[in-house]
Amino acid sequence: MSKSLDGVLVKKANKQETFTNEQVEHLLKCMDPDTGYLYFAEQFAHIQHPVKGKLLFEPFDYQLGLMDSYHRFRFNINMMPRQTGKTTCASIYLAWYAMFNPDQTILIAAHKYTGAQEIMQRIRYVYETCPDFVRAGVTSYNKGSIEFENGSRIISQTTTGNTGRGLSISLLYCDEFAFVQPNIAEEFWTSISPTLATGGRAILTSTPNSDEDTFATIWKQAEDKFDEYGNENDTGRNGFHAFRADWWEHPDRDEKWKADEIGRIGEEKFRREYGCEFLVFDETLINSIKLATMEGTNPTLNMGQTRFYEKIDPKKNYAIALDPSMGTGGDYAAIQVIELPTYKQVAEWQHNTTAIPGQIRVLNDILKYIAEQRGTDNGIYWSVENNGLGEAALIVINDYGEENMPGLFISEPIRKGHVRKFRKGFNTTHSSKVSACARLKVMVENDQLTVKSKPLISELKAYVATGSSYQAKPGATDDLVSALILALRMIAVMKDWDPAIYNSFTQIDNEMEDYEAPMPIFISSNF
**Three state DSSP letters for 18-63:** CCCHHHHHHHHHHCCCCCHHHHHHHHHCEEEECCCEEEECCCCHHH
Read off φ and ψ for residue 74, nearest 5 degrees. Answer: -65, -40
Q: For residues 491 and 436, what is the distance between their CA atoms, to the nearest angstrom?
A: 11
Q: For residues 110 and 121, what is the distance between their CA atoms, to the nearest angstrom?
A: 13
For residue 278, the model assigns a pLDDT of: 76
Q: Shortest CA distance to 92 belongs to which of 133, 43, 141, 52?
A: 43
Read off φ and ψ for residue 387, nearest 5 degrees. Answer: -70, 140
Q: Shortest CA distance to 349 belongs to which of 407, 299, 291?
A: 299
Report residues of the chain scoring pLDDT below 70: 1-8, 227-231, 280-282, 414-422, 498, 500, 502-527
Angle value at C-alpha 150, between 147 and 153, nearest 5 degrees: 30
- Direct distance between the N- and C-terminal alpha carbons of the chain, in angstroms, rounded to an integer: 43
Q: Which helix (H) or strand (E) holds 107?
A: strand 105-110
336, amino acid identity:
Q
Domains in the chain (CATH in brackets) are 2-252 (3.40.50.300), 293-514 (3.30.420.240)
For residue 526, the model assigns a pLDDT of: 37
Quote the DSSP letter at residue 148.
E
Q: Which helix (H) or strand (E) holds 443?
A: helix 430-445
pLDDT digits (tens, 9 = 90+) for 193-230: 888 878 899 999 998 887 778 898 899 889 888 766 56
Q: Shortest CA distance to 181 belongs to which of 209, 204, 200, 142?
A: 209
For residue 326, the model assigns a pLDDT of: 87
Distances (CA, A) of 522 to 173, 184, 436, 460, 519: 30, 21, 22, 20, 10
How many Å is the Cα radius of gyration of the chain? 29
- What is the three-class DSSP state of 351? strand
Contacts of residue 270, defined as CB under 8 A and 6 or more positions apart, other chains included, come to: 258, 261, 262
Strands 46-49 and 306-308: unpaired
For residue 144, the model assigns a pLDDT of: 87
> Which residues are bridge partners to 463 per DSSP?
472
Contacts of residue 29, defined as CB under 8 A and 6 or more positions apart, other chains included, come to: 35, 36, 39, 43
Q: Count CB atoms within 10 A of the CB of residue 315.
A: 6
Q: For residues 438 and 117, what is the distance between their CA atoms, to the nearest angstrom?
A: 41
Q: Shortest CA distance to 15 belongs to which of 149, 117, 111?
A: 149
For residue 453, the model assigns a pLDDT of: 93
Burial 23-50 (b: 16+ CB within 10 A, else e): eeebeeebeeeeebbbbbbeebbbbeee
Angle value at C-alpha 480, between 477 and 483, nearest 5 degrees: 125
For residue 518, the model assigns a pLDDT of: 52
